[in-house]
């Protein structure tokens, strides 16, 4: 066996034992090559294999430039884990079915279009990963695997799933996201043990009512499809903890959605919702709910029953008022209600003692309730884009806010830039001393920045930096951090004055944005 830098050339040894010995010799050689560098772990030795009593039990041939599986692999009778990802494999040998002890098989990032019938002989196989291949049809041979617990066929070119999927009753996790699947069979409801089902980024226009049979389902991702409605039966999956429905065409929700009492996170942004069912108030365990960029004209008062709600996204709807029952949300920390048509804010909002961030910019507010002055934990308050707003003196005394003069900001916004925005800092000697540099175009375009998330994002946008500056309005920001008092050259959260830092502005921020805790699956799911 000749191992050269960055590639593997296999010369057929006389028996599998020779193959094993050659690999062991390579491991112990510690030779200097890019292949060794790629494979070695925390020590100086290559960790691409593991043995027990002289028999290979784990073998990593990841990223080795293989166009075919070395035939000697089929003779490794004790092999339990095999990594073949990131190669150029177009097919697998039927003999791979001879690996009777195999439990985990990684085949991602290859060129596979089908699987050999021999796969069905892998009676102990529990985990089969085949993301990012060239499968156009679901390989029905996998339906014959008696012990399979995790199947990943994401990022392929599948258009449908066969009824035999219902026979895979041992499945605990099924990843089918990022395909072109237009329909699901009713038989999918026979997967009684599946807890994680990822179907995001497909072409589903509807769901079969039979999906309710997945009674053990905990995580369900359906975002970025073409769903116009949900069958009421979905609300029978009462074990659901996270439900992702954003970026669809939903005009309504089932009236019994409140039956999902175990839910902790619910994403519904970027749909066509005009109203919410009153039963939503029974979702007392939900801590994060995103409803931005819909067509909501009201929020039902029952939302006050969502006792654990900590973050609520309502921006870019058609709301003219907020329900006073929001004041019952004692754990609410962040509320986005910007870009609506609000003319007032309920007094009861001042009862949200844990509120830290409040976004009311781009509305039609003329005044604010004095009760907000009691929000001792408030550290971010966005009010720009409310040109007729009169700020009560009491709000100026909020201890956690660095108050920037509203009228100075408004004057600067009106007179300093044609774009309608500028950096407004503390006034010193008759001039504006900005907390940071004025951002070019810090007008309406900049105000839209915090919500400029890419349409495929799985989670609601999280504003990364406070806006310091006026747009015919005012932002109040926490006084911690460099630049909070002006004159340091930076804003309190490191962004240029006059704009909230958008994740799209730089790669690092965007990356952090996409890894928000609300994501429904682990990072490798690539939401």
3-state SS, 3-26, equals EECCEEECCCCCCHHHHHHHHHHH
pLDDT value, residue 17:
52
pLDDT value, residue 54:
78
Give phi and psi for 478, each to the nearest 5. Answer: -60, 150
pLDDT value, residue 411:
57
Any idea what the CATH number is for the domain that residue 85 is in? 3.80.10
Cβ-count burial 41-55 (b if 16+ within 10 Å, e if not): eeeeebebbeeeeee
pLDDT value, residue 476:
53
Could you tell me if 273 and 295 are in contact, meaning their C-beta atoms sit under 8 angstroms apart? yes
In a domain, 482, yes or no: yes
pLDDT value, residue 22:
59
The number of folded domains in the chain is: 2
In a domain, 358, yes or no: no
Measured between alpha carbons, how far is 455 from 451 in angstroms, rounded to an integer?
A: 10
Measured between alpha carbons, how far is 172 from 8 in angstroms, rounded to an integer?
A: 35
From the CB of residue 105, how many other CB atoms can be counted at a distance below 10 Å? 22
Give phi and psi for 188, each to the nearest 5. Answer: -60, -25
In a domain, 9, yes or no: yes
For the stretch 30-87, pLDDT in tens is 444 444 444 444 433 445 778 888 788 999 999 989 999 988 899 999 999 999 999 9
From the CB of residue 287, how many other CB atoms can be counted at a distance below 10 Å? 19
- Tokens for 377, please give them: 């934990």
Measured between alpha carbons, how far is 33 from 226 in angstroms, rounded to an integer?
A: 49
Query: Which residues of the chain fall short of a pLDDT of 50?
Result: 1-16, 29-46, 405-406, 416-474, 478-527
Q: pTM to 2 decimals?
A: 0.74
Could you tell me if 61 and 68 are in contact, meaning their C-beta atoms sit under 8 angstroms apart? no
pLDDT value, residue 64:
87
pLDDT value, residue 392:
85
In a domain, 298, yes or no: no
pLDDT value, residue 506:
31
Could you tell me if 214 and 165 are in contact, meaning their C-beta atoms sit under 8 angstroms apart? no
Domain holding 505, by residue range, is 386-527
In a domain, 278, yes or no: no
| 357: CB partners within 8 A, 6+ apart | 333, 334, 335, 378, 379, 380, 381, 463
């Amino acid at each position: 066996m000749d191992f050269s830098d960055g590639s593997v050339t296999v010369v057929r040894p006389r028996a599998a034992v020779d193959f094993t010995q050659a690999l062991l010799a390579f491991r112990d050689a510690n030779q200097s090559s890019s292949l060794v560098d790629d494979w070695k772990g925390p020590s100086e030795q290559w960790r691409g294999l593991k043995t027990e009593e002289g028999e290979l039990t784990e073998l990593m041939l990841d990223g080795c430039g293989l166009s075919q599986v070395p035939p000697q692999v089929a003779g490794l009778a004790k092999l339990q884990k095999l990594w073949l990802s990131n190669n150029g494999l177009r097919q697998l040998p039927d003999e791979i079915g001879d690996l009777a002890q195999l439990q985990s098989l990684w085949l991602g990032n290859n060129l596979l279009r089908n699987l050999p019938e021999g796969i069905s002989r892998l009676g102990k196989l529990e985990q089969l990963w085949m993301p990012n291949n060239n499968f156009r049809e679901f390989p029905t041979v996998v339906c014959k695997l008696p012990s399979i617990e995790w199947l990943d066929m994401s990022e392929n070119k599948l258009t449908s799933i066969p009824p035999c999927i219902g026979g895979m009753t041992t499945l605990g996790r099924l990843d089918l996201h990022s395909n072109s699947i237009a329909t699901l069979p009713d038989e999918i409801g026979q997967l009684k043990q599946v807890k994680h089902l990822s179907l995001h980024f497909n072409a589903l226009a509807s769901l079969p009512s039979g999906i309710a049979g997945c009674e053990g389902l905990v995580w369900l991702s359906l975002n970025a499809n073409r769903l116009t409605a949900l069958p009421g039966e979905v609300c029978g999956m009462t074990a659901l903890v996270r439900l992702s429905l954003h970026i669809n065409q939903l005009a309504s929700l089932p009236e019994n959605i409140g039956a999902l009492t175990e839910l902790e996170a619910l994403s519904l942004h970027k749909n066509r919702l005009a109203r919410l069912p009153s039963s939503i108030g029974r979702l007392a365990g939900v801590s994060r709910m995103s409803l931005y960029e819909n067509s909501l004209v009201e929020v039902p008062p029952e939302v006050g029953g969502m006792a654990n709600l900590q973050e609520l996204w309502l921006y870019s709807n058609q709301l003219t008022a907020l329900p006073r029952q929001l004041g019952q949300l004692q754990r609410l920390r962040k509320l986005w209600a910007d870009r609506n048509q609000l003319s007032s804010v309920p007094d009861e909002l001042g009862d949200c003692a844990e509120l830290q961030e409040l976004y009311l910019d781009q509305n039609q507010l003329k005044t604010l309730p004095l009760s907000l002055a009691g929000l001792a934990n408030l550290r971010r308050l966005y009010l720009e884009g409310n040109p007729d707003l009169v700020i009560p003196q009491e709000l100026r005394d909020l201890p956690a806010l660095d108050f920037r003069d509203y009228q100075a900001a408004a004057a600067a916004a009106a007179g300093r830039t044609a774009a309608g925005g500028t950096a407004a800092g503390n006034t010193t000697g008759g001039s504006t001393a900005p907390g940071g540099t004025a951002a070019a175009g810090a007008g309406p375009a900049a105000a839209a920045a915090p919500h400029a998330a890419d349409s495929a994002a799985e989670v609601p946008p999280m504003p990364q930096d406070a806006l310091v500056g006026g747009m015919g309005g005012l932002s109040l920001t926490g006084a911690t951090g460099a630049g909070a008092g002006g004159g340091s050259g930076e804003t309190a959260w490191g962004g240029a004055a006059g704009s909230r830092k958008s994740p799209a502005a730089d790669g690092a921020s965007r990356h952090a944005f996409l890894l928000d805790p609300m994501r429904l699956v682990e990072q490798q799911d690539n939401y």
